[in-house]
Structure 1
Amino acid sequence: MLRTTGSTKRRARRAGRTALLACLLLPLLPLAPARAQTPADGAPAAGGGYLVGTGIADITGEAAEIGMMGYARLEQKTSGIHSRQWARAFAVAQPGGGRAVFVNTDLGMVMQGVHQEVMDRLAARFGSRYDASNVILSATHTHAGPGGFSHHLLYNLTVLGHQEKTFEAIVSGIVDAVAEADADLAPGTVKIATGELTGASVNRSLEAFRRNPAEEQARFPGAVDPAMTVLRFEQGDRPVGMVSWFASHATSMTPENTLISPDNKGYAQYRTEHDLHGVEWKDRGDFVAAFAQTNAGDMSPNLRDGGAHGPTDDEFENTEIIGGLQADKARELFEGATEVLTGPIDARQRYVDFSGVEVSGRYTPDGAVHRTCPAALGQGFTAGAEDGPGPDIVDEGELEANPLLLVAGAVVTPVPAEVRRCQAPKPVFLATGSQTPPWSPQVLPLQVVRIGSLALTAVPAEFTAASGHRVLDTVAGELGGLARHHVLAGYSNAYSGYVTTPEEYDAQHYEGASTHFGRHTLPAYQQELGRLAAALREGTPTPSAVQPPRLGGRQFTVQPGVVLDAPPVGRKFGDLKTQPAASYGRGERAEAVFYTGHPRNDLRNEDTFLEVQRYAGGAWRTVATDNDWSTVYRWKREYAAVSTATVTWTVPEDTAPGTYRIVHHGDAKDLLGRVTAFTGTSRTFTVG
């Protein structure tokens, strides 16, 4: 039985190594929030260096018949797993000082309801040790995962409502990853390295980008942000983790894909963990690698046709190409990292209602005071971006209101006249912020976390390359030299669409049309994040005057549940419909088809729907699961309550010769609602 094997074995191995350290160090660790009262002048806290810890947990949602999050296609529903989704956590603490946790999740975005529930559960488990100020929850922005985990209607519409099992898998997995990183804290160091990666992204919105001032465009040769920042986590002199930040959308997998996949960032994580530690199922987590997003709003991995198509015509190959480029560069920086982060760990956080921020002329293009607007989407939103085009109704940048969309939007969400005026030149399609409750979040978390000479600015949106750097410039200026390195952690703690520069906004391409709070959204972010940075520098508190509403009790779904599973007459669950061939060569694809139950009966988190096993030493040994990039688990409803699971394994080039078999694990529901686990095993085959 594989369930919980990875995390349980890892904890057991580390228990002996860290038990004595825990006894000595835990009394020194604060139970107060990470906003510790440390010197603001950059001097190391008393007692010296850091404690570091890593954690990883499964957050894979429902693998069949659930709408996917990202492309907003009603017909795109999950039908299996290419690779699982994970939460990877990295904790840094000072004995007697501050602490912080960065969590990278294989999600399209971190929804506000997820953030709220995770914070509640962390408070219940750790008291005041972790809170919204010192925990960053960030997303890779994969478009190949199940949706329905938001509490805001806009993000659940194309998924047929809220999906509680997926929501719970995400929340509980994130909490487990943080808890594992906390339990793993041990003396260590964090090293940082920076570099540039080209050839892994293009600007998919060039026309809008070229509206920015010439001197700003000159900061981005090729109209892309090539910056990569890598952290190397060590316990003693042993590397235990890596975080890489780089701006490129996780859209190598297309809207035609229906398999769960963490996309190119996920492939980079998988390959790096295997390359640096030879990770197998039994020891997953001994080395944890996260590939996180930054200001990727207009950065596409699809290198052809202005962001419309990947480097090849095969989406799986494209995922590996772009992920591989990121993995190679990150590995190079990781191996060369020598600069050690030292100094205080501190953080500031505040909630801001972006539906009506008064923005000082210090940040606006014309030097006058302006206000942000209640959230609204423009008609260019319906056109989609180059790597996820929508229906052919309007073109990007079309500023004249389309009558069809005008009427449709007014019927769905009537738009107040003052919202239309405020959002100009955006032709408003949906007034998501004018509803009760709002269809998209407006009270948003802003956060600045300092780890010695590194400042992480966490923002709840997709910032374009130029808009992200304007924010970083503002934060760096207000910190007054406390940090040498600055990273924008995009897609963090909530999700509120895009943020463009005012100049890009005027073009009303997809990104500008999806900038929720009007032309002065970015200046409002600069102002409010600048205030947070100044408070961190001065050591002053940042209380929130507003809090986001709690919407968990107002959810609905029209997604039918699993009623019954049944095998064909004369068959039982786990029987083979199609057996694998007698033998395969390296590079060939072994395949077995099983009669199965619905994968929504049990998500098998920290487990697997399949195993590829090799017979060696008198026993069967697992060599691949549904998390491996060499396998695919595909579910299909054949008819009525009868379904099949097709398991494929592309035999890797380094596969040892021998005897193999394919095992499928499933769960079936009977008429009384009882769910029973079963296992099916194929005949053996050889790999020569």
Structure 2
Amino acid sequence: MIALGVCPEVPVKRLLPAFAALLLLVIPAPGRPAAAAAPGGYQVGVGIGDITGEAAEVGMLGYADPTQTTAGLASRLWARAFVVADGSGNHVAFVSTEIDFVTQAVQVEVLKRLRAKHGSTYTDQNVVLTATHTHSAPGGYSEYMLWNLTTLGFEAPVFEAIVAGIVRAVDSADADLAPGSVKIAEGNLAGANVNRSIEPFNANPAADKARFPDAVDTRMTVLRFEQGGRPVGLIDFFATHGTSMTPANHLISADNKGYAAHVIEDEVHGVDWAHRGDFVAAFAQTSAGDMSPNLRNGGAQGPTDDEFENTRIIGQLQAGKAQQLFDSATEELSGPIAARGRYVDFSGVQVGGAYTPDGQAHTTCPGALGQNFTAGAEDGPGPPIVDEGDLNTNPLLLVAGIVVNPTPAAVRACQAPKDVFLGTGSQNPPWTPQVMPLQVLRIGQLAITTAPGEFTIVAGQRVQDAVAAQLGGVTTHQILAGYANAYAGYVTTPEEYDLQHYEGAATHFGRYTQSAYAQELAKIAAALRDGQATPSAVQPPSLAQNRFSVRPGVVLDTPPLGKSFGSVVTQPAASYARGADVRADFVTGHPNNNLRDEGTFLEVQRQNGSIWQTVATDSEWQTLYRWKREYLGVSTAQITWTIPADAATGTYRIVHHGDAKGLTGTIRPFTGTSRTFTVTP
């Protein structure tokens, strides 16, 4: 989902105030030789980097609600990188990031930094940056105005955290390259997604619907990475939205896919905070456009009334099936590694009849969002202005769109039957991207196709079929990785588009958007098959002028009278049983003073003789860090630790690490420590 600049599950809901605020306001080095691979074999490497960003008072991206701002951590966010190389020097780098979507600004900067360090080894052809699509991550890291509405502009610290963390992850994976293998397994997982857009799905031809019993995509693909026979990584591909956490949540969370990664890394492979990277597990998206993890009422509600429990349930389901497939993976990928990609201007793609439902040639349109986009999706409804599928013009939205974002008549006609609300591609500069990155990558008998949108399951299948038609006999496994390298809304089939539900209204380039993706990706697949180059006639523009923010940032931190930073306001009880929640509150500074990348805001420590050993940090899902501004510059940190069922008995304490900004602007670190408490059986 994503609404105006976000995957607005709750689109224009409180959008007009955000609009008003914004309106007022190298010659590349030679590539290094590939690490030596075994004859006919691969080099594989894995890496991970912290991309959490600002933990307080920054708009979150996904539900398009400017009032949903960060206020602590339920979990840190990570970029997980996997590199595969062959003996000929060909590399592929796949990165899964726990953010709502990847922006072009992030892709461009990541590639720039990788080029500076690795020369021509990593490029826009062979580096894939994907997103898990959590709706509980900080926003503000795009150069396109629509995507920054909920943050009231560009958030440089968030952007830097994401870019630097991705680069660290790729660097680590590159440094980790060693002789190894990649194995693949495929299966089905039921009960972890539902179709939240059933009427548009049913508008598709019977042959399309027959491929998805119960209107869901239950397919799961797992890649098993080994070095010398030792498992070092896992990539899981499965379609379900990152909306287990609701619009009411203010804690940064990697949502259900992040929890699945935690289960595999921490619980199955024993990777704790101190050994992050020993085993790396990523849970990536495929065609999740109409797939929701909220199993009740057509995608409107999770399996329970507790969003944290829903995150665990859907995450655990994915983790369990992924581990089963991981354990059973025996088919080894072998053969050439290759990658092809190009940028395509989707504002006017001429689409041939081979890719359209009526067999006639058509064209895509400059980007635009329909009025029904403001209705939101089932798991993130918007204001009661219009209903999904309502094809009657809403005068209020028509006038609002004309005032803030006028759309030429030709674009309105091209976008029909969409009733245009915002002509995002018709502005100068555009409010959403038009030049989109496309890729097809090959690792032996596996083809990974990437595209910068959220495809419905039928739309995604049509694209996979188009690519497979070109790679028949070359590859036998196909994956479409969405949310890749940039973001331009939804992709529905022409038949789904006609109904103008939320997803169709958020399909940017008109009725033939999916047809254009199928055609252009098929061309790239053919070039990969034939060993031909895929030069780009266009490049994404630089919009550095849009890197502005109207948010004041941290002004001053002050402790309350009689207290100092790190003072304990609420002490733990004297004793707790396993499974209980331990809580300690501290006088703190603003967490945006120091994002503590690769660090922590808290430690749970256990006494071992004269030594205090850390058993948990804010990287663990058993801890919660809540930040609250009490008044003016006074704030508190509430730290909660849910004692694991297998926790050792003994004496414990909670430590809080913070940073405070003084009158002169100097930021100084501090530490607070709770009294001790015991854990009993």
Match of 1:409 among 396, 401, 405: 401
Aligned ranges for residues 144-163 of structure 1 at < 5 Å?
A: 144-163=136-155
Per the alignment, residue 349 of structure 1 pairs with 341
Separation in 2, partners of 1:364, 1:237: 46
What amino acid is aligned across from residue 469 of structure 2 in structure 1?
G
Classify the secondary structure of the residue corresponding to 1:620: strand
Per the alignment, residue 8 of structure 2 pairs with none
- Note the C-alpha offset of 1:96: 2.4
Separation in 1, partners of 2:39, 2:259: 39
Whether 1:387 and 2:379 are equivalent positions in the alignment is yes
Match of 1:522 among 485, 505, 514: 514
Whether 1:428 and 2:420 are equivalent positions in the alignment is yes
Per-residue deviation, residues 185-222 of structure 1 (Å, max 9, x unmatched): 00001000000001000000000000000111010011
Classify the secondary structure of the residue corresponding to 2:467: helix
Per the alignment, residue 13 of structure 2 pairs with none
Classify the secondary structure of the residue corresponding to 1:156: helix
Per the alignment, residue 64 of structure 2 pairs with 72
Per the alignment, residue 565 of structure 1 pairs with 557
- Note the C-alpha offset of 1:371: 0.7
Separation in 2, partners of 1:409, 1:439: 13
Per the alignment, residue 325 of structure 1 pairs with 317
Per the alignment, residue 442 of structure 1 pairs with 434
Classify the secondary structure of the residue corresponding to 1:624: strand
> Cα gap change, 1:103/1:507 in structure 2, threshold over 3 Å: closer, same or farther?
same
Separation in 2, partners of 1:144, 1:270: 16
Aligned ranges for residues 158-169 of structure 1 at < 5 Å?
A: 158-169=150-161
Moved >4 Å (runs of 4+): none
- Note the C-alpha offset of 1:407: 0.5
- Note the C-alpha offset of 1:97: 3.3
Match of 1:298 among 271, 290, 303: 290
Per the alignment, residue 31 of structure 2 pairs with 31
Per the alignment, residue 76 of structure 2 pairs with 84
Classify the secondary structure of the residue corresponding to 1:577: strand
Asked if the contact 2:154–2:546 (Cα under 8 Å) also holds between the matched residues in 1, the reply is: no
Aligned ranges for residues 530-549 of structure 1 at < 5 Å?
A: 530-549=522-541
Match of 2:605 among 592, 604, 613: 613
- Stretches of structure 2 that go unaligned for 5 or more consecutive residues are 1-29
Separation in 2, partners of 1:46, 1:367: 48
Asked if the contact 2:144–2:546 (Cα under 8 Å) also holds between the matched residues in 1, the reply is: no
Whether 1:378 and 2:373 are equivalent positions in the alignment is no
- Note the C-alpha offset of 1:32: 6.6
Whether 1:359 and 2:331 are equivalent positions in the alignment is no
Asked if the contact 1:33–1:134 (Cα under 8 Å) also holds between the matched residues in 2, the reply is: no
What amino acid is aligned across from residue 31 of structure 1 in structure 2?
G
Per the alignment, residue 124 of structure 1 pairs with 116
Separation in 2, partners of 1:440, 1:33: 38
Per the alignment, residue 645 of structure 1 pairs with 637
Separation in 2, partners of 1:280, 1:412: 49
Match of 1:461 among 437, 450, 453: 453
Whether 1:136 and 2:136 are equivalent positions in the alignment is no
Per the alignment, residue 555 of structure 1 pairs with 547
RMSD of aligned Cα (Å)? 1.2
Per the alignment, residue 14 of structure 1 pairs with none
Separation in 1, partners of 2:480, 2:548: 34
Whether 1:93 and 2:85 are equivalent positions in the alignment is yes
Moved more, 649-658 or 234-243: 649-658
Separation in 1, partners of 2:228, 2:157: 39
- Note the C-alpha offset of 1:553: 3.8
Per the alignment, residue 12 of structure 2 pairs with none
TM-score for both structures, normalised by structure 1: 0.93
Per-residue deviation, residues 514-535 of structure 1 (Å, max 9, x unmatched): 0000000011001100000000
- Note the C-alpha offset of 1:65: 0.3
Whether 1:626 and 2:618 are equivalent positions in the alignment is yes
Asked if the contact 1:596–1:643 (Cα under 8 Å) also holds between the matched residues in 2, the reply is: yes
Separation in 2, partners of 1:573, 1:97: 53
TM-score for both structures, normalised by structure 2: 0.94
Classify the secondary structure of the residue corresponding to 1:195: strand
Whether 1:582 and 2:594 are equivalent positions in the alignment is no
Whether 1:233 and 2:225 are equivalent positions in the alignment is yes
Asked if the contact 1:471–1:526 (Cα under 8 Å) also holds between the matched residues in 2, the reply is: yes
Whether 1:368 and 2:347 are equivalent positions in the alignment is no
Asked if the contact 1:351–1:548 (Cα under 8 Å) also holds between the matched residues in 2, the reply is: yes
- Stretches of structure 1 that go unaligned for 5 or more consecutive residues are 1-29, 37-44
- Note the C-alpha offset of 1:555: 1.6
Number of residue-to-residue matches in the alignment:
650
Per the alignment, residue 7 of structure 2 pairs with none
Per the alignment, residue 22 of structure 2 pairs with none
Separation in 1, partners of 2:267, 2:567: 36
Whether 1:54 and 2:46 are equivalent positions in the alignment is yes
- Note the C-alpha offset of 1:560: 1.2
Moved more, 46-55 or 141-150: 46-55
- Note the C-alpha offset of 1:586: 1.4
Per the alignment, residue 264 of structure 1 pairs with 256
Per the alignment, residue 220 of structure 1 pairs with 212
